[in-house]
Structure 1
């Protein structure tokens, strides 16, 4: 069992020491008192509607003044606050675009108090107000300043070059690309070069999307199966402070929820420059008290590259939902298939000498193909006496064949260095949690226990030398079984009206079984890790809260690295890596909604990792490196001064370093120190909508000494459109300044055909030049 490590910062040291000494005693005491004390409170339920048309309002903040007891309304405009101590209270209702309202309620033990509220719009000209993007007020709800939730309107009105850019609704996160459109995006957050997902955990409908022990990169996260129009919300959490999230959640995590119903059927067609075409049909139908959502999506893109991408992507969704937000279920089936030619990064020297153009390729036969199919079942039940139970069961099939060539003719001047990474697997699992309310000496306490189980049966994970996508030798070929089980306990206690603590403890057990074509590299490993969490919430004062968060987390390593004994190429003896790698995090933050229409948060954070995973150019994947630390701050702002204007600005500055190495070689390659994103959305008249989006990520070191650095990248995108009611027309202008910047940069040694010698150079993937895309959506 791995020891719990202490963070190397004085404030963090104190917090973690207190947490270590009190956690187990606190868990035992709170569990016992939860059993010993009967539920002697009452419940408040109600419905919030708009005075304009009587329609339910989703996302209204409901708060018991003088306490942190609160919630938000669901899709039906309903809310419920369970186990409220007996007494008289003032209920505060707040929603951007509407006037605040306060209602007096009396709560009696064992009874349910029902409330019906109508909110008045601030402008009598408003016909309907819905939660747009990040307008949701999280005062009294969130556990940290870096936690948040964005809604469907944020994706509908945002100009998107790629599907994966929906994740850029998370403040401080950038999604880029170093290969073809069909491949997973590159992600950056809090100074981490997350490659294709390592150290950022994402889930869809409660099902983990990161693929561990992946053929291309650990924690591979491909979001191309998403249909942006069907994303309902993205709830994000940064840092390892939440017990219900396990593997890969060091820098953060996000849970993506799909809509259950659409207001009307939609038929969408898109076309743009560089042979971009897309078609979408989506609809939902009522069958009794159930809703059936179904959609088909097809997309084709060649891009501006000399070797056309020829990317074809097809996806489909069927989702059956029943019940309400309190008691209900859903069953979802998703499918996705794609094939493409890669537009991989190219050496800068080859462009400068005229060997290839900026959109050229050294190896014209690189590319890939992938399939994935998912079946997900969710069930939830809420009971005033017993609490809330949620369960998820899922099964998924996945396949990837990826052909890459990053060093061209460096290692094999005759046949070239192209290689294939293959991955074919089935993975499935289940998650269950139960949350209940108790009173501890008159203080409201929420307890939550949960468990998750996952097994990956990887039938084929291999690395092969290829030429023109034809295998000519095997580097390694493995069959792997990887299983894990995680359990956790969380406790939230409201000590006073201005003080709340959240403590948690998570335990994870992993089992790796590797059957390799190189016998000495076969074997099995088992590892267990404990991850305690401790959070403090202070306030609110004048709609402002303060947070202190600390916790330990982890990421798993590739199973092949845990049993390896000899290098598959040289057959030299090598040492294996730790199966589970410890991470540490702490942050101090503040969130305010004191100014009407403004949601603002400021966070100072520290993240440490016992072994950073970095991209290796000649292998096309990630490998374990030295211990690291990331220190920085984030400032996130969403402002809606009027009904027709919304502004947002997010700034993230981070300093990232390797630990325990000399100061002249402690830079982490591709760790971004500056990310600035912002947007302006204005709807001057009914029907019109316009959005500007700015994406900026600063220069970054490409080698450990910092002597070689990448360029900064700044892009400005624009979307405009008009909604006629039954038809909507959109125009997207992407990279409207026609910036000739890199989307990604690396520094390593390669040799292209015809070059007399090898050379170390910056290898980059260019951003897409200015492009236009137009879409017509029929709603019927």
Structure 2
């Protein structure tokens, strides 16, 4: 049954001649005078709240004169309470410094979640279970599953809200404002490699699901995740870890500049990560990765902030690739064996960016960011073995080199519309991808060139602008309406045609959003979110289709709420639906265009955070989804590999004597691997554990994965393939084996 998107409408309200009112404002910092973002400020008598911005500032307007009890709380800090007096047509200002404290869910105040810089669940999770691996970074998003199927150096395959997102087609990923998704990538549209991010340097993880956010553009259909690194290091870090399969990891983070004055205004640090492993497969993985990064931040004055970031990353590996079930069952190879052991790859990425934030005297905030990325990629794969070439095999190499240039800026301001509060934000920007020699070719034994499949140069430009308006009809009821305009220009020069020919196509898309939020009490917030998002298609698809189906729209709606039950339980839940006009993608593995028609997905998300006792926490995320291919007959309308039931959760403890740790699980149910569900990708249940002993100057850690040593299949595909000894091809599950029991131990020094 079809549904219609909530219309982008006109705000209607009555202006009233209320008595003169006052304004409550202030600045919240930590004990070192560093501004804190998203601190909760709550006026109990009025049941109204606000959150601080990037400068630690807040403003609550239209407050009737009188005395009020307020509370100031932030996860991981000691709460503060005080009484203030508001006078007619006057501004009451405070400045408060919060001291670090324990993680208490009683400190959580439920306010309007739509316009927060970091959502409440993300704040709790990053404090509760710090991320220690590149895989943990993505797993911070509730309901998100990942699978690795090419030796650890390739970007993870992502699953979220009934999507097999491949490597990023339907989720928008960012790091410090830099786009992670690669448009028109050699391996596939939206390819997102997060391995250039050092986990220990992450300060915030912001995420939301659905296409409801005007500042998030391409690939924001299932949702987005934004990772922000630390402005300043609390202390220097030196960490060394070692474990099974020849695993070694070293992380260092050193302050180079730290103000000794009472007010800390500037910071400069460098960080590095080196990782290597032989891997658990029969063939040595020879995997290594090196990350280097530096970040400089300074508050020029109380109204200006400047941040500069530099990072570089390189990685290389050998891979065993996917293997067919029949080869394992016959004993030809073990489940950790390989059909083509010459797979592997190399990749690198260098980033440079500068961000400037300026606050005006009227409260308006300008944000401007310029960035540049240099990226190289080379991947060798073999998915079908000897299906197409029974002599040399079907190995392919995908290669590209690109430069990305970008800018995004915004201006936001709070004003009055009659006696109503209006928050406005406008933004503009561009992204230009210059992709050189994007190449797919047939190879043998990794080094021998056989023939070209496709080759060319791509120029892709995305210009965008958006406007976002949020009106508080009452202190608790807000309406949010937004509109985003994206304009794309696709250029492709095919190097395999006899004559040079550049194909150029342009297309624009408007994507409206309309959201409603109602804060019932400081413990309940209800919302309805609706909007249109999109994902672009690969430039080579656009060229083949002569401009048809360039920008596929996604229509979404969420109805749900955030609830605080007592002082110890936090619940977030939503019923949702998402329809796509077309899942139409370029299959980089074969150099072909593969349409899959209209699709619909609907489901329910549930996240629970429970502080059982002051030192013991429970968290769980449960996600149920019903994915369907709309243009297919019943019984043949399954979407291959789309997840239908997933759950992630665990127990975390933090003792005062320094002992802390967690026991966590991951569950993914069985999934259809083809359109009629006659081939099934088997689900799995895994358990991991972490134990740490933390003191002011050092930390000892022991990490175990797959503690029950489950024989599970990580990445799974219904693939037609042929082995060298076979006459006819066979279609069945091809898979990469999941990690067996693994442990590593580590020691960290703080100074």
Q: What TM-score comes out, normalization by structure 1 length?
A: 0.88
Bigger shift: residues 519-528 or 700-709? 519-528
Map 1:99-178; keep pairs closer than 5 Å. Answer: 101=81, 103-106=83-86, 109=89, 111=91, 113-116=93-96, 128-129=100-101, 137=108, 139-143=110-114, 148=120, 150-151=122-123, 154=126, 157=129, 162-178=133-149
Q: 1:464 aligns with which of 426, 438, 441?
A: 441
Asked if residue 284 in structure 1 is aligned to residue 255 in structure 2, the reply is yes
Instruction: Output the CA distance in 1 between the equivalents of 2:94 and 2:571.
Output: 33
Shift of 1:266: 1.1
The 8 Å contact of residues 488 and 505 in structure 1, kept in 2 or not, is answered as yes
Residue 534 to residue 749, structure 1, CA distance change in 2 (3 Å): same
**Structure-to-structure mapping, 1:200-599, within 5 angstroms:** 200-286=171-257, 288=259, 289-323=265-299, 327-469=304-446, 470-519=448-497, 522-541=502-521, 543-564=523-544, 577-599=548-570
Q: Secondary structure at the match of 2:672?
A: coil
Match of 2:262 in 1: none
Task: Work out whether 1:699 is the aligned partner of 2:670.
Answer: yes
SS in 2 for 1:640: strand
Deviation readout 1:255-298 (Å, 9 max, x if unpaired): 11001222221111111100101111111233553200101111
1:55, 1:149 → 2: CA distance?
23
1:347 and 1:90 map into 2 onto residues whose CA distance is: 66
Partner secondary structure for residue 563 of structure 1: helix
Compare 220-229 and 521-530 and name the one that shifted more: 521-530
Supply the distance in 2 between the matched residues of 1:749 and 1:338 (Cα, whole angstroms). 31
Tell me whether 173-182 or 361-370 shows the greater mean CA deviation.
173-182
Say how many residue pairs are matched.
Answer: 733
Match of 1:676 in 2: 647
Whether 1:79 and 2:50 are equivalent positions in the alignment is no
Cα separation, 2, equivalents of 1:273 and 1:149: 33
Measure, in 2, the Cα distance between the counterparts of 1:56 and 1:554: 35
Stretch of structure 1 that moved more, 769-778 or 384-393: 384-393
Instruction: Structure 2: give runs of 5+ residues left out of the alignment.
Output: 260-264
Cα 1:490–1:72, aligned 2, differ >3 Å: closer, same or farther?
Answer: same
Q: 1:92 aligns with which of 57, 71, 89?
A: 71
The more displaced of 583-592 and 169-178 is 169-178
Structure 1 residues 108-147: Cα deviation after superposition (integer angstroms, max 9, x where no partner): 546452254778xxxxxxxx51558x99836214129995
| Distance change in 2, residues 1:468/1:117 (3 Å) | closer
> Does structure 2 retain, via aligned residues, the 8 Å contact 1:210–1:219?
yes
Within 1, Cα distance between the matches of 2:412 and 2:736?
47
Q: Specify the alignment match of 1:36 in structure 2.
A: none
Equivalent pair of 1:82/1:384 in contact (CA under 8 Å): no
Q: Distance in 1 between matches of 2:22 and 2:469?
A: 18
Consecutive unaligned residues in structure 1, runs of 5 or more: 1-7, 34-38, 120-127, 566-574
Contact 1:159/1:719, CA 8 A, preserved across alignment: no
Alpha-carbon shift at residue 216 of structure 1 (Å): 0.2
Task: Tell me, in whole angstroms, the C-alpha distance in 1 between the residues paired with 2:152 and 2:195.
Answer: 9
CA contact (8 A) 1:155 1:228 kept: no
The separation in 2 between residues aligned to 1:587 and 1:159, in whole angstroms, is 28
| Structure 1 equivalent of residue 629 of structure 2 | 658
The CA deviation string for residues 506-541 of structure 1, in whole angstroms up to 9 with x for no partner, is 010000011012449841110000000000011223
Q: Are residues 583 and 244 of structure 1, via their aligned partners in 2, closer, same or farther at CA, if it must alter by over 3 Å?
A: same
Q: TM-score when scaled to structure 2?
A: 0.92
Over 3 Å counting, the alpha-carbon distance change for 1:488 and 1:515 in structure 2 is same
* Mapping for residues 173-192 of structure 1, pairs under 5 Å: 173-192=144-163
Deviation larger for 185-194 or 162-171: 162-171
Q: 1:720 aligns with which of 691, 694, 700?
A: 691
Structure with greater strand share of residues:
2
Q: Is the 8 A contact 1:667 1:703 kept in 2?
A: yes
- Matched residue of 2:565: which SS? coil
**Partner secondary structure for residue 150 of structure 1:** helix
Counterpart contact for 2:50–2:60, Cα < 8 Å? no
Structure 1 residues 63, 261: CA separation in 2 closer, same or farther (over 3 Å shift)? Answer: same
- Please say if residues 187 and 588 of structure 2, whose CA atoms lie closer than 8 Å, have aligned partners that are also in contact: no
Q: Encode CA deviations 1:197-216: one digit per residue, 9 max, x unaligned.
A: 11100111111110000000
Q: SS at the partner of 2:635?
A: helix
Instruction: Kindly state the Cα deviation for residue 41 of structure 1 after the two structures are TM-superposed.
Output: 6.5
CA 1:665 to 1:148, structure 2 compared with 1: closer, same or farther past 3 Å?
farther
Q: Which moved more, 1:594-603 or 1:661-670?
A: 594-603
- Structure 1's 322 and 107: CA in aligned 2 closer, same or farther, altered over 3 A? farther
Residues 498/534 of structure 1: CA separation in 2 closer, same or farther (3 Å cut): same
Structure 2 CA distance for partners of 1:284 and 1:136, relative to 1, 3 Å? farther
**Structure 1 contact 149–236 (Cα < 8 Å) conserved:** no
User: RMSD in angstroms over aligned alpha carbons?
Assistant: 2.9
Deviation of residue 706 (structure 1)? 1.1
Alpha-carbon distance change, 705 to 155 in structure 1, aligned in 2, over 3 angstroms: farther
